[in-house]
Amino acid sequence: MPSGAAARVINKMITAVASGKGGTGKTTVAVNLALSLGKAQLLDCDVEEPNAHLFLKPEFHRKRPVEVLIPLINEDLCDRCGRCSEFCQYNALAVTGKLVMFFPELCHSCRGCMLVCPKDAITEGKRTTGVVEYGVREGIQFIHGILNVGEAMASPVIAEVKKDMNKEGDVLIDVPPGTSCAVIEAVKGVDYCILVTEPTPFGLNDLKLAVDMLKEMRVPHGVVVNRAGIGDRGIYEYCEKENIRILMDIPHDEKIARLYSNGIPFVEKMPEYKKRFRKMFEGIREDVGR
């Protein structure tokens, strides 16, 4: 920890766990890190296919729906002028000579159509796009979102999950894979991002995309290499070149794989990894405090 005026004590930290591609072990790292810390909040923002609960096994005690705003068209007031459809950049509205067609999956809830309607024929309505569920396990607060099947936009559900972020302690966010709008919504506002990758050409390619995204967002980041020992040295050479810190190597270990396949976080059967995860997290805390 630096001394003098540059030093800061970080009592709480929001840390995202992300990856450039699916299947690298992002959820594995998020869950095992949460269990190693013992007292933290874990948010599963991979709302299209949340699975952290399968490993953490929390007791759920509450849920609430996620609602988004949609326009309601009063056909008696509407004169089919078409200004609403002209304004909508997402083509959620189409006006014909006899009616206004609305495509809810395309609507971004911006309310612009209501503002431009000269007849005040559009009012606010709501529709449900997902659900947020709350659970707990041994001091770990758990929240995840579930996007309804067929919905196109995950970001509103992710935003609702993050609304209940703990303001008093450490928060871990399991981020969707890739570099989409949903990923940006999940990572937005965090103090640090752990990028989980694998030492293969595919892992390196997608890691580069994720790093470029985080640089654009100005989010500090480091790398956890999962299944270390397979593939090649490309990940390590890239991180050295870009001055990206390797936070931890998790080896390609049959015991870890067997535990994973049975839904068991490996820190529960391999307690030496709890110390490694805690040491990694404290190192991140020091970096954020600089």
- Give the tens place of pLDDT for each residue, 22-81: 889 999 999 999 999 988 999 999 999 999 999 999 999 999 999 999 999 999 999 999
CA atoms 210, 214, 219, 221: torsion sign:
positive
The backbone region for 261, taken as left when phi is positive above 0, alpha when psi lies in -120 to 50, beta otherwise, is alpha
What is the rounded CA–CA span in Å between residue 198 and residue 267? 20
Number of residues in the chain: 290
The per-residue b/e assignment along 240-255, b for 16 or more CB within 10 angstroms, e otherwise, is eeeebeebbbbeeeee
Whether residue 192 is predicted with pLDDT greater than 90 in this model: the reply is yes
3-state secondary structure of 233: coil
Q: What mean pLDDT value characterizes the chain?
A: 94
Q: How crowded is the C-beta side of 130, counted as CA atoms within 13 Å?
A: 26
Q: What is the pLDDT of residue 4?
A: 44
Q: What is the pLDDT of residue 9?
A: 59
| Residue 65 β-bridge partners | 131
- Give the tens place of pLDDT for each residue, 80-117: 999 999 999 999 999 988 889 999 999 999 999 999 99
Higher-scoring residue by pLDDT: 6, 11: 11
Higher-scoring residue by pLDDT: 60, 3: 60
Q: Average of pLDDT values for 3-30?
A: 81
Q: Average of pLDDT values for 256-283?
A: 96
**Domains in the chain: ranges and CATH:** 10-66+128-289 (3.40.50.300), 75-120 (3.30.70.20)
Contact 199, 234 (CB under 8 A): yes
Q: What is the pTM of this model?
A: 0.91
Show the tokens assigned to 45: 């923002």
Q: What is the pLDDT of residue 168?
A: 87
Whether residue 121 is predicted with pLDDT greater than 90 in this model: the reply is yes
What is the rounded CA–CA span in Å between residue 174 and residue 152? 20
Backbone angles phi, psi at 131, to 5 degrees: -145, 150
3-state secondary structure of 210: helix
Q: What percent of the chain has pLDDT over 70?
A: 97
Contact 249, 231 (CB under 8 A): no
- 171-174: strand order across its sheet: 59-73, 122-137, 140-147, 41-44, 171-174, 14-18, 192-197, 221-228, 246-251
First and final C-alpha spacing in the chain: 7
